[in-house]
Structure 1
């Protein structure tokens, strides 16, 4: 398989049971879960496989759990000869891309994202901020809605996921007003999301400041595989860009649609989503369709999906 990109999911993809069948079938996956548990002093295997769900949903637990699951699956693909010429991850998923590219070690990454989760959760008092998904409304009219809603406080674009799917974030009253305005502007759907904090907006700048101090203690390498960053939708060119990019990512928009468009323009034809959920594959197909491009999108969250990928590779 040529012209392959590995893409990795972010927070929201988690569910109780994720990664379980890979650990049951592959020793290398088991070892990743053990390494993660040892690194953050938490039984990550028990958390992912048994929950309880309310513990898995805590941001400081969710982030290392998703990262661990994604890397556990990634290692199996690599052991079977699968590799990529480019990689990207949605928000938290960018850390998995950095592990794939040997920019940071898995141990450092899992310890870092646990702290990242806590900083993000603690930065804004509960009840102050929220997020909403806006479906079926283009960027420009939605941005116009946000400008009007800012009379009620901070509200910004959090994620440009795919054509017609954008997530907004900010203070509760401003987000609620933006949702109402988006509906009036013709959005097919505009709903408040059940999240614990307003991610990817300027309210979280303080969390980025805290994360920067932790990042500065790590050994960071130049990427061995091109990594496309969320903040700029451009290829990360050197290790010196890593810290500014990850700090900004916490409080700036995730340019996922732009990132995938750029990767398609660079010749990527096969996208392999590695980790829990199948949302990224869905986004990729929508982005490619709008661009009039044909790409393949595979989602590998369980062993069955992995077997199907192998069959496709073998032309079966």
Structure 2
């Protein structure tokens, strides 16, 4: 399967997209149900604690919302929780047709696809969180979600705020939900312009940094050096990049896309549309929260979604695995 492009032959049975969430999906106690019930999850968290020198096993069970909100903690905490779920499902026979991660979620995605080792992914995520936190402390940045307005009009609203500061589209989350990022005053001005253009709401986001905009270029050089120092293998499971919305064809491409991801927008709408074309009929959120499940339902027609962020939902997915045959499309 190495180097698959993700294309499928006509008539191949449809499969599932494994979706790994990004920052914003964290919550206190998000790994309690995993660590209480599953020895393999405890082993993985113990590895992560040792690799990072962080007590993630504690933080993801008893940590406060304030502790989890620090981006240098948030990012490894979400990635480790997601990977604990992935290993449980993989052991139960879960075989997705393709994988994708929303921003931070691309790191556990690449572990699941055999591109990165657990150690490399967690070390990169820890550095990424620290560098992004440094930007947040140096730049008065902000992010906001614009709801109920097409993306092209959100882009126009960003353009109207150019005189105030930098503001750019950070996330194309769904057709009528676009996130903007940049200098705080410019984000506020673009939000007002979006409301004037007919947006239903503009919601400021409680995040640790102005992600996915040019302000992150300040840390790009250091992060690029870290990427170059780690081995990247070709995917053994198809990966859809949130930077391009298309399939990742090699380990070297995956490395370059992680660099571009720092300053480029998340093209999640294109990720979902690519998956639907190739073909995927079910969408599983691997990790905390249900954000990506909601985005899939609001972007695509009549899709099945499953999430794994609590004991009831994880048990339900185990039951589905016992009853269904999960098949990968075969590359043409």
TM-score (norm 1): 0.95
Equivalent of residue 124 in structure 2, options 112, 123, 126: 112
Equivalent of residue 103 in structure 1, options 108, 115, 133: 115
Q: Distance in 1 between matches of 2:94 and 2:197?
A: 45
CA RMSD after TM alignment: 1.4
Q: Shift of residue 121 of structure 1?
A: 1.2
Task: Give the direction of change, closer, same or farther, for the CA distance of 1:124–1:303 in structure 2 (3 Å limit).
Answer: closer
SS in 2 for 1:269: strand
Q: Which moved more, 1:67-76 or 1:202-211?
A: 202-211
1:216-231 matches, within 5 Å, as: 216-231=228-243
Contact kept? 1:56, 1:62, Cα under 8 Å: yes
Q: Distance in 2 between matches of 1:195 and 1:71?
A: 22
SS in 1 for 2:22: coil
Q: Distance in 1 between matches of 2:321 and 2:98?
A: 18
Aligned to 1:210: 222
Contact kept? 1:89, 1:96, Cα under 8 Å: yes
Q: Shift of residue 2 of structure 1?
A: 4.7
1:145-294 matches, within 5 Å, as: 145-289=157-301, 294=302
Aligned to 2:8: none
Q: Distance in 1 between matches of 2:232 and 2:127?
A: 17
Q: Distance in 2 between matches of 1:242 and 1:16?
A: 31
5+ residue gaps, structure 1, are none
Equivalent of residue 28 in structure 1, options 14, 25, 40: 40
SS in 1 for 2:129: helix
Q: Distance in 2 between matches of 1:295 and 1:17?
A: 29
SS in 1 for 2:137: coil
Q: Distance in 2 between matches of 1:106 and 1:51?
A: 23
Aligned pair count reads 312
CA deviations on 1:174-216 (whole Å, 9 max, x unpaired) are: 1111011111111110122222311000000122221111111
Q: Distance in 2 between matches of 1:28 and 1:313?
A: 18
SS in 2 for 1:152: coil
Q: Distance in 2 between matches of 1:315 and 1:109?
A: 33
1:51-130 matches, within 5 Å, as: 51-126=63-138, 128-130=140-142
CA deviations on 1:243-300 (whole Å, 9 max, x unpaired) are: 21001101110000111111101101111101000010000011113xxxx3211011
Q: Shift of residue 314 of structure 1?
A: 4.4
Q: Shift of residue 111 of structure 1?
A: 1.3
SS in 2 for 1:132: strand
Q: Shift of residue 310 of structure 1?
A: 2.8
CA deviations on 1:37-93 (whole Å, 9 max, x unpaired) are: 000011101111111322211111110000000001111001111111200000000
Contact kept? 2:69, 2:208, Cα under 8 Å: no
Q: Shift of residue 117 of structure 1?
A: 0.3
SS in 1 for 2:142: strand
Asked if 1:302 is matched to 2:314, the reply is: no
Q: Distance in 2 between matches of 1:23 and 1:191?
A: 34
TM-score (norm 2): 0.91
Contact kept? 2:71, 2:133, Cα under 8 Å: yes
5+ residue gaps, structure 2, are 1-12, 325-332
Q: Distance in 1 between matches of 2:323 and 2:91?
A: 20
